[in-house]
Amino acid sequence: MARTERLRRYWDRQSASYDRIMAVAERRFFADTRPWLCGQATGDTLEVAFGTGLNLPYYPREIRLTAVEWSPAMLEIGRRRAASLGREVDLREGDAQALDLPDASFDTVVCTFALCCIPDEGRALAEMARVLRPGGTLLLADHVASPVWPVRALQGLLDAVTVPLQGEHFGRRPVRRVRAMGFTLERHERFKLGMIERLAARRPGG
């Protein structure tokens, strides 16, 4: 609990500079990932780890969007962004690892570049699956462990610093957990030496 609160305070402090830092990453690494991912959202859509709302411009206008973020400072920036875009969003402060939302209540769940910083990635993914309707779509993007061993070794060194400091992991592979939960991959891409991964997966039962 103490570590969770420490990380929350860390991301509150980062909120003012977050968009500038992410703008560099967008240009160098992420390419068109936000529109690629968010453009696939349909119906009742949940964004987990909403951050400052950088995905908002890329969602179809017709979806009904709910968003959860655990940093109050980031959530406030996202609230202002939604207002400036004229976008209606049900914004909620909450924890990705314990979503205060009913089972099977969304057609689409989105999480971009955030699973790397959630302490328990498995719990967060299980929660996303829980709130998805049968046949619903899970849309994920993140930096992940590279298949290129020198790069992966460097990522391991980075983990030794970033995990205790800010809870950020460079060696995760969410797609493995997604497959293990029985999801069917419908779109899946890796690029930048395999360090960036994005996917669209279908929950079983639809």
Instruction: Concatenate the DSSP letters of all residues of 82-116 into one string.
Output: HHHHT--EEEEE-BTTB--S-TT-EEEEEEES-GG
pTM of the predicted model as reported, rounded to 2 decimal places: 0.94
Query: Residue 17 pLDDT more than 90?
Result: no
Angle between helices 2-25 and 72-85 (to 10 degrees): 40
What integer pLDDT is reported at residue 185 of this predicted model?
A: 97
pLDDT digits (tens, 9 = 90+) for 28-77: 889 899 999 999 999 999 999 999 999 999 999 999 999 999 999 999 99
pLDDT digits (tens, 9 = 90+) for 127-178: 999 999 999 999 999 999 999 999 999 999 999 999 888 889 998 999 999 9
| Alpha helix segments (H runs only) across 117-148 | 121-131
* C-beta separation of 93 from 75 below 8 A: yes
**Rounded to 10 degrees, what is the CA torsion of 110, 115, 116, 117?**
110
Surface-to-core class of residue 1, CB atoms within 10 Å of its CB (0-12 exposed, 13-18 middle, 19+ buried): exposed
What integer pLDDT is reported at residue 56 of this predicted model?
A: 98
Q: How many Cβ atoms from other residues are within 10 Å of residue 104's Cβ? A: 15
Cα 146 from Cα 111, distance rounded (Å): 20
pLDDT digits (tens, 9 = 90+) for 96-141: 999 999 999 999 999 999 999 899 999 999 999 999 999 999 999 9
Query: Residue 205 pLDDT more than 90?
Result: no
Q: 46 CB contacts (<8 Å, ≥6 apart)?
A: 65, 66, 67, 68, 101, 105, 106, 108, 109, 110, 128, 131
What integer pLDDT is reported at residue 18 of this predicted model?
A: 85
Q: What percent of the chain has pLDDT over 70?
A: 98
Query: Residue 3 pLDDT more than 70?
Result: no
For the chain, the average pLDDT equals: 93
Nearest CA to 58 among 78, 80, 32, 22? Answer: 32
What integer pLDDT is reported at residue 2 of this predicted model?
A: 62
Cα 172 from Cα 152, distance rounded (Å): 11
